[in-house]
Chain A
């Protein structure tokens, strides 16, 4: 509770939390919040490229669809990508990191070498190649992102496990003949949790950005998904007249990622004093 109060004192962290919570709420209730939920896939060309008005606060796009509704509906794609990719990466990366850090010999070495291989190329390039192979779609983009994001967690967990392996309490547990599995998951993991949580939170924002880039390049979400990156890509040739088409999805990306970053920073300052950057 002390932590929570400390957190609340940090204004920017609170703002971040509010943004994230708002996004979650919007995503859950999107079909009810969006004034024209059918515009997720329905086109009415007659109303195309109309500016912001009472009926369409964010205007309409090139197929006459309500941009406001599509931005709201797009939050679902954004959050589901973020959630699925980060949890998937955690599920793969954390156990591997624990094994790599705690074990020794071949298992540990192999795990870390494989991790290095995946980290040897920037994530976007590898994800792009994978997405192209699997065929462009949001599902495959998520798969590609998960398969290229887990090494980041493995690295962190590996470092933490290494550090904790030599600490007194672990020696004590080993003396008591506790199983390695138990030591890793029941004791080391909770202690290594803080940097993982921070990384995961910031990772959510980062994943949304990367998924948007894949959507922009045509390797992620496919039409008619109301995904924000895809919307910006489709909006380009209607600039500068139809400015609303590009601006609002872009702002949505910015706001949500910004929120996750603030939240992650706030969490870092509160739950991991070692990592605390001077305020």
Chain B
């Protein structure tokens, strides 16, 4: 297992390097030279030239890239043109928000989707099954921004049972920082008022974000369970007299969960992409909205750091999924 892990990590490194190269090229072909933005609104053309020389924008692209690599190796990811703070500070402050939202959405997807999919499979071709099947295909056809708008209208405005935006009410203080995940931190430090408030606030964004993955997880669980149910050994065990629920929960689930776990790896990427829209509409201060801000303001250091971060997270999740795969299904582990 350890050898597998090491090998996988080593394989990821050239990919991340390639990603950095790709992003660097993309960012530096920008028609709007960051020199003008750095120099400020009043700079004379001569001052802009001075800034360009000072930051090395006039040197060949390759040299600029290696200078950047050297800085990154020393842990210096640069400063944001907009906020004036190190990019690492900006991202580090916002990352927990997105992680919390993503975990919540994934949790909803798994803890609702698996039972739903199993139930639908067990009640194959009955009413519930048809409804669930419609949902699994329809759920991924809904535009998330449209869903978010509608949910906000209904629950936050019309029914007024949930808040409109943000992670917490403005008048509520954030919990003491342990992980940056408000739900966890507030529970652990006993601040139930904050926990309750944060829970209210994360509900709509999590539902919106989870919709697509809920549909996918339900779908894959359903077909996985159906397939296993039709396998010979299950039919044999049914004939012999094992109770249905035992069969389903113990044997069937374990074998069908493999497909679902694979999906989770792919879904993580979709969730990161989905967070862009959700964070914009619900004012969730995470890295999704930060990425959009950086792209719109051509904040090139921020864009580079964000790309690297997303690539690393994505790779880490995929490796983790492979490992879990190996744990669940020993046959897969043998092939590693």
A193 and B277 CA atoms in complex are apart in Å by 34
Do B153 and A240 have beta carbons less than 8 Å apart? yes
| B50 within 8 A of partner (CB) | no
Which residues from B are CB-within-8-Å of A133?
A: 26-27, 29-31
A226 and B319 CA atoms in complex are apart in Å by 43
Q: Which of A31-39, A60-68, A85-93, A113-121 contacts B (4 or more CB under 8 A)?
A: A113-121
Known contacts A114-B18, A130-B26, A277-B223: does B140 contact A121 (CB below 8 Å)?
no
Nearest A residue to B280 via CB reads A217
Known contacts A128-B292, A129-B23: does B15 contact A216 (CB below 8 Å)?
no
A-B contact count (CB 8 A): 120
Which residues from A are CB-within-8-Å of B15?
A: 113, 116-117, 120
Min CB gap A277→B, angstroms:
4
Do A278 and B19 have beta carbons less than 8 Å apart? no
- Which of A124, A128, A253, A254 has the largest number of chain B CB atoms within 10 A? A124
Nearest B residue to A249 via CB reads B146
A129 and B146 CA atoms in complex are apart in Å by 22
Residues 117-144 of A contacting B (Cβ, < 8 Å): 117-118, 120-125, 128-130, 132-133, 135
Contact residues of B: prevailing secondary structure: helix
| Total interface residues in chain A, CB < 8 Å | 41
Do B226 and A236 have beta carbons less than 8 Å apart? no
Which residues from A are CB-within-8-Å of B270?
A: 122
Known contacts A120-B16, A120-B19: does B138 contact A239 (CB below 8 Å)?
no
Q: Which of A41-49, A99-107, A176-184, A258-266 contacts B (4 or more CB under 8 A)?
A: A258-266
Which residues from A are CB-within-8-Å of B298?
A: 132
Nearest A residue to B288 via CB reads A125
Do B149 and A132 have beta carbons less than 8 Å apart? no
| A213 within 8 A of partner (CB) | yes
Which residues from B are CB-within-8-Å of A118?
A: 22
| B291 within 8 A of partner (CB) | yes
Min CB gap B49→A, angstroms:
23
Do A125 and B30 have beta carbons less than 8 Å apart? no
| A246 within 8 A of partner (CB) | yes
Which residues from B are CB-within-8-Å of A246?
A: 146, 149
| A82 within 8 A of partner (CB) | no
20 additional A-B residue pairs with CB within 8 Å, beyond A113-B14, A233-B145: A113-B18, A116-B18, A118-B22, A120-B15, A129-B27, A130-B26, A133-B30, A133-B31, A209-B143, A212-B143, A213-B143, A213-B277, A217-B277, A229-B145, A239-B149, A253-B143, A254-B141, A254-B143, A257-B141, A261-B141
List residues of chain B with CB under 8 Å of any chain A CB: 14-16, 18-19, 22-23, 26-27, 29-31, 133, 137-138, 140-146, 149-150, 153, 157-158, 223, 226-227, 230, 269-270, 272-273, 276-277, 280, 291-292, 295-296, 298, 303, 307, 310-311, 314-315
List residues of chain A with CB under 8 Å of any chain B CB: 12, 113-114, 116-118, 120-125, 128-130, 132-133, 135, 205, 209, 212-213, 216-217, 229, 232-233, 236, 239-240, 246, 250, 253-254, 257-258, 261-262, 265, 277-278
- A-B contacts, 16 of them at CB < 8 A, read A120-B18, A121-B311, A122-B272, A122-B310, A123-B273, A125-B276, A128-B295, A133-B29, A213-B276, A254-B138, A254-B141, A265-B137, A277-B223, A277-B226, A278-B223, A278-B230
